Amino acid sequence: MRAKPNQQWQAYEAERPEVFSKSIGWRVSGNGAPIRIRKDSHWNVPEPELVLVINSQREIVGYCAGNDVSSRDIEGENPLYLPQAKIYNGSCALGHGILLCEPDAIKDIPIRLQIRRANETILNSEANTSTMKRTLLELVEFLTRELDFPQGVFLMTGTCLVPDGEFTLQPDDVVAIQVGELMIENKVQA
C-alpha cells in the first residue's frame, strides 16, 4: 500500500525503521580527518550515533562512535532528496577504534556531543542509548532481512542529539562525539 500524498513521513512511528546506505568505506572519515558540509545547503548538522559492528552471521560484536553529518534543509524539502542530504563526500565519520563487546553492554551507554567554534564550546549535550526508540536487534534484523554482508557491516543506529533549528555547522567547527568509551573528533570543511 502506498502512502497518501499528504501523509507525512513518520520514521519513528512506522512499522519499519528508516534504513539506508550512508557510505562506502573509502568515503568514511576517521578520527582527526575532516568532515564536510554541502556548499548547496544552508542547514547542516552533526548527528552523533552509536554504530553497531555486525559480523557476517548478523551478530552484533561491538560498536564505535559515528557522525552522520546531514543537510537538514535538503532532507526536509522532499523525502526523495534523502540520499543527497545524507550521502556525499565527508558526510560520515567513524571511530576511534572498535570496542568488541556483547550487545547487552551497549544498551545503556552515554552519547555525548560537543561542538567548538573559535576555541569556544558552543554546544554540549548528552543522551543515552537506553532512550532509543528501536532495539538494537530490531535494527539489525531490518538491515539484514534481504541483504547479505559477507564481510560484515557498520550500522549507524540513528541520532538522539540534534542541535536546534537555529544551529548550522560552519567551516572550522570542531565536532567531538563520544559513545561509551570511544570518541571521535573531526574538523568541518566546506
pTM of the model: 0.90
**What does the alpha-carbon distance between residue 80 and residue 50 come to, in Å, rounded to a whole number?**
25
pLDDT in tens, 37-49: 999 999 999 999 9
Give domain limits for the chain. 27-189
pLDDT in tens, 54-83: 999 999 999 999 999 999 999 999 989 999
Q: State the architecture of 27-189 in CATH terms.
A: Alpha-Beta Complex (3.90)
The pLDDT of residue 21: 84
Residues with Cβ < 8 Å from 188, sequence gap 6 or more?
A: 34, 35, 36, 37, 169, 170, 171, 172, 173, 174, 175
The pLDDT of residue 67: 97
Is the pLDDT reported for residue 10 higher than 70?
A: no
The pLDDT of residue 8: 45
**Torsion sign (Cα): 115, 24, 74, 72:** negative
